[in-house]
Structure 1
Amino acid sequence: MSRTDTGEKPPQGDRLDREEIAADPAARGVVYQTLATAFEHPTEELHAGLLAGQVKNGMQDALEATALDVSVPEFAPAESYEELSARYNRLFALGSAVVTDRTDGSVDKEGPAVSLYESSHRDDATWQTINVDLARAYEHYGLSVDTEERDHHDNLGLQLEFAGYLARRVALGEADAGAARRDFLDRHLTVFAGSLRDSLNDTDVAGVYADLATLLEQFVVADHADLADRYDGPSSTDRSEVSF
C-alpha cells in the first residue's frame, strides 16, 4: 500500500512461485490498486495511459481473470494533461469562497465539489466513528498511514489500497483476509462508492471521473456480493454500522 507503512520489509531473496498465488484475488487486488491510483491527482503517466487505452485494457484483463461480471468503460479523456489536472482540482481539491457580507468581509467557505472522504458521504456516522473504525482495521494488519503523506483514514485512496492489500493476502492463501474484506466493504466501501458515483453523476464537469466512479461502484458491489457468497457467515456488523 503506497500510503501506508507496515514497518516491515520482506526477507531478501524471497520469491513466490506463480502456482502459489491464486489468480482471481490477485487480479482483484490489481483492480483496487489501479482505481486508487486513478483517484489520486493525475500524473502525466496516468494521462498517457488513459489516452492510449492502457488503463482500460489493464483493468479489463484483470477483471477477466476474476469471477466477476463487471464491464470497463472507455474512460479516455478528450483533453490535455493540464486540462485533466485542472478538472481533478476543480472536482476534488479546490473549495469555493463567497463573500456573504461586504460590510465586514464575512466569507462563507465550502469544500471541493466532490469529497474523496467517506465521512462527507455519510449521515449515519460521525467523522470520528468512521476514522477510528478504519484506523483499527488498518492497525489490525500492522498498517499505518505514511507519515510523509499523512491523511485521514477515510480517504478513498487509502481504503482502496487496503481492500487491494486484503485481496493480495487472500491470493497468498489467507482465507480470513477474504472475510475481513467482506466486512470492510460491507461497512465502508459499498456505501462510499455508491455515494461518490451519485455525486459525480450529479455534476456536469466530472468527465472521465464519472466513468471511473461508475466502474468503482460496480466493482465494489460485485466483489462484496461474491465475498458474501463465499464467506456465508454473518457480517460482523450491520451494513449501516461502522464500529469494528
Structure 2
Amino acid sequence: MSRAATVSTSPEASAVSRPDAGDSSRANVYKRLSSALAFPDLALHERATADKWPDEIAAEVAALPYRLRMHDLAWPAPDDYDEMQSEYIRIFQIGGRRGPPCPLHEGHYTRDRSHTLRHLIRFYNYFNFHPAEGVMPDLLSIELEFMSHLAGGGVSDEQSLLRAQRDFLKRHLSWLSTLSERVARSGPPRFYGSLVKLADRFVAADQQFIKTTLGGIRDA
C-alpha cells in the first residue's frame, strides 16, 4: 500500500527564474504523467505497489521551477494487477451502457471532435511529433507526451516554443478540470484519483508559469 506524497507546496505557479527553451524538469513531469495515464502495464503496477511511485513523482515535481501542492495526494494502488487494469477500464475506457464515466479523449469534451482532431494533427505535424500508430491523437496520454516533447526544447526558438506550449495548454488541455471532477465522482482507486488531480493542477500551474515567463521576456 502506497503512502502519501510528502511534498507540500502552493498550487499556484510562481516564476523563480527564466527557463531555457528546453526545460527538462517540466518535460519530465509531463512524460511521467503521460506514462501513468496510459493503460497500466506491469511495470507501473509494480512501482505503485512497491511505494516507488510517490518518491519518483515527488522528486520530479520538486525540480519544477515553481511550486505545486501535493501534500493532500495519496497513492495507494490495487494490490492485484488485474484489479488495477479492471478499474482503469471501468473508469476510463468502457464503463456501463452509456460508456465510460471519465473518457480520456479530449474530443468527448468538445463540441466538434473532428475539428479537435484536425487541429491536433496540425500541431503534431508542425512540431515533428509522431504518436504511436493506431492511437487517437486526442488521447490524454498523447497530449501530455506532446507537451513533454515541446517542453524538452530543440524544436523551435524560445519565444515560439513557449507560445506553442501556452496555446496547446489553453486549447487542448483545459478539459482536465472536468475530467478531474468526473473521476472524483466515479469512486476510483486513490492512485487514479490523485493522478488525475495532479495532472489538472500541473497543467493549470504550468499555464500560469508560461504566461508569466512570456510577459517577462517581452519586458526584458
Given the two structures, how large is their TM-score scaled by the length of structure 1? 0.73
More strand by share: 1
Quick check: 1:181 aligned with 2:155? no
In structure 2, how many angstroms separate the alpha carbons of the residues matched to 1:78 and 1:153?
29
Tell me the SS of whatever aligns to 1:69.
Answer: coil
Return the letter of the residue paired with 2:209.
D
Which residue in the other structure is 1:167 paired with?
A: 151
Q: Percent identity?
A: 25
Q: Answer yes or no: is 1:74 the counterpart of 2:74.
A: yes
Q: CA RMSD in A?
A: 2.4
- Residue pairs, 1:21-60, within 5 angstroms: 25-60=23-58
Aligned to 2:9: none
Q: List, as ranges, runs of 4+ consecutive aligned residues in structure 1 with deviation greater than 6 Å.
A: 170-173
Among 187, 194, 200, the residue aligned to 1:211: 194
Give the stretch that moved more between structures: 129-138 or 110-119: 110-119
Match of 1:142 in 2: 128
CA contact (8 A) 2:104 2:139 kept: yes
- Alpha carbons of 1:23 and 1:119: their partners in 2 closer, same or farther (altered >3 Å)? closer
Partner of 2:113: 127
**Which of the numbers 212, 215, 219 marks the counterpart of 1:229?**
212
Deviations 1:83-125 (A, max 9, x none): 111111111222434xxxxxxxxxxxx3222100011123xx3
1:172–1:198 Cα change, 3 Å: same
- How far apart are the structure 1 equivalents of 2:89 and 2:101? 10
Q: Does the aligned pair in 2 maintain the 1:24–1:65 contact within 8 Å?
A: no
Distance in 1, matches of 2:105 and 2:33, equals: 15
Question: What one-letter code is carried by the residue in structure 1 that aligns with 2:48?
Answer: L
Determine the C-alpha separation between the residues in 2 that align with 1:51 and 1:146.
Answer: 28
Looking at structure 1, the residues matched to 81 and 177 of structure 2 have their Cα atoms a distance apart, in angstroms, of 27
In structure 1, which of residues 189, 193, 203 is the aligned counterpart of residue 176 of structure 2?
193
Letter in 2 for 1:85: Q
> Aligned residue pairs: how many?
196
Q: Partner letter of residue 117 of structure 1?
A: H
Residue pairs, 1:102-113, within 5 angstroms? 110-113=98-101
Q: More displaced, 71-80 or 164-173? A: 164-173
Structure of higher CA gyration radius = 1
Separation in 2 of the partners of 1:187 and 1:207? 28
Q: Which structure 1 residue ranges, 5 or more long, are not aligned? A: 1-20, 98-109, 234-244
Q: 1:172 to 1:61 in 2, by over 3 A?
A: farther
